């Protein structure tokens, strides 16, 4: 049975891997983002985003290590002959060290890129672009800044497919009580590292997470299990119990179709325990609700 770690426990597991393998943080970033780039290229070759020759990618990169993942993905897609452009959103004055190193690599390679200053950047998503969301990952602990919220809204209005790296930006890994939906990216597909995050197992977050796939990065599962069950807040615990034990229905963001939350949660838990993860079939649609016209976990 695979664990469900809190954001803090996942960071512990990440540091444990770096010290025991050993591997530097920037090399681990290269590994994780490289596997994401490989999966994205596979999906493109299979035609999930439309005609292969017409598809290009817009990478939205933040200033932290999730943004660094996005910069690595941009470099590797570019090296594979795929058209990419990068928008690095400067929502804080200083980037992480690994982010800065990978930004310099993009500059040296001449990858099409733009870095915003403080404020709301103009953003137009092209009709054949697939958006890669690498603005925020599990480190997010507050609502996204206004300029990021603006970008999320522009992406939503574009109706283009979105691939989130680790988590959709604006969604907290642990507790999303009181979250403002307009500040959360809506992904068609989420490529998450090693384990599903708690928020991904709650049906109310389907509209943000979309279909999700696990990207193994080499974390020590024995060590992760030794961390014990992730410790939810009282609010999250009550909320999870409500989804697992009641028969209440929830209404999806779009359309009037209802689905039983308890049944949905049990299906996800069964798949997760057995190691069978939800994965995309057919074209990657604009939102999770559109993926197959039905429950993607069925």
Structure confidence by residue, pLDDT tens digits, 199-253: 999 999 999 999 999 999 999 999 999 987 654 433 333 333 333 333 233 233 3
The whole-chain average pLDDT of the chain stands at 81
pLDDT of residue 294: 28
Report the pLDDT averaged over residues 152-174: 97
Closest to 198 measured CA to CA, from 37, 59, 64, 2 = 2
Per the document, the length of the chain is 298
pLDDT over threshold 70, residue 182: yes
The residue behind tokens 């599903």 is 196
Closest to 281 measured CA to CA, from 262, 297, 266 = 297
26 burial class (0-12, 13-18, 19+ CB within 10 angstroms)? middle
pTM: 0.81
- Residue 92 has a CB neighbour count (10 Å cut-off) of 12
CA-CA distance, 242 to 261, in Å (whole number)? Answer: 9
CA torsion angle 187 193 196 202 (round to 10): -20
The more confident residue out of 288 and 91 is 91
pLDDT over threshold 90, residue 276: no
CA torsion angle 178 162 145 26 (round to 10): 110
pLDDT over threshold 50, residue 29: yes
- Which homologous superfamily does the CATH classification assign to the domain defined by 7-289? YjeF N-terminal domain (3.40.50.10260)
- Residue 28 has a CB neighbour count (10 Å cut-off) of 21
12-16, 119-123, 167-171: which has the minimum mean pLDDT?
A: 119-123
């Amino acid at each position: 049975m695979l664990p469900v770690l809190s954001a803090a426990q996942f960071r512990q597991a990440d540091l444990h891997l770096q010290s025991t393998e050993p591997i530097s943080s920037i090399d681990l970033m290269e590994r994780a983002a490289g596997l994401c780039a490989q999966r994205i290229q596979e999906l493109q070759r299979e035609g999930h985003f439309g005609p292969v020759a017409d598809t290009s990618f817009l990478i939205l990169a933040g200033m932290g290590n999730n943004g660094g993942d996005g910069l690595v993905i941009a470099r590797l897609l570019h090296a594979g002959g795929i058209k990419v452009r990068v928008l690095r959103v400067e929502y804080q004055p200083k980037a992480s060290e690994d982010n800065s190193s990978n930004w310099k690599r993009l500059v040296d390679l001449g990858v099409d890129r733009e870095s915003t200053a403080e404020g709301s950047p103009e953003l137009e998503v092209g009709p054949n672009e697939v958006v890669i969301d690498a603005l925020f990952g599990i480190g997010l602990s507050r609502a996204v800044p206004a300029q990021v919220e603006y970008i999320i809204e522009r992406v939503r209005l574009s109706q283009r497919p979105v691939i989130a790296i680790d988590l959709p930006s604006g969604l907290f890994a642990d507790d999303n009580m009181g979250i403002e939906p307009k500040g959360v990216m809506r992904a068609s597909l989420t490529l998450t590292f090693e384990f599903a995050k708690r928020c991904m197992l709650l049906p109310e977050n389907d509209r943000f997470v979309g279909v999700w796939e696990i990207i193994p990065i080499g974390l020590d599962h024995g060590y992760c299990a030794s961390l014990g069950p992730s410790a939810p807040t009282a609010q999250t615990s009550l909320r999870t119990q409500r989804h697992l034990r009641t028969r209440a229905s929830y209404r999806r963001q779009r359309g009037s179709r209802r689905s039983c939350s308890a049944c949905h949660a049990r299906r996800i838990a069964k798949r997760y325990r057995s190691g069978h993860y939800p994965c995309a079939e057919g074209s990657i649609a604009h939102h999770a609700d559109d993926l197959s016209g039905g429950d993607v976990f069925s």
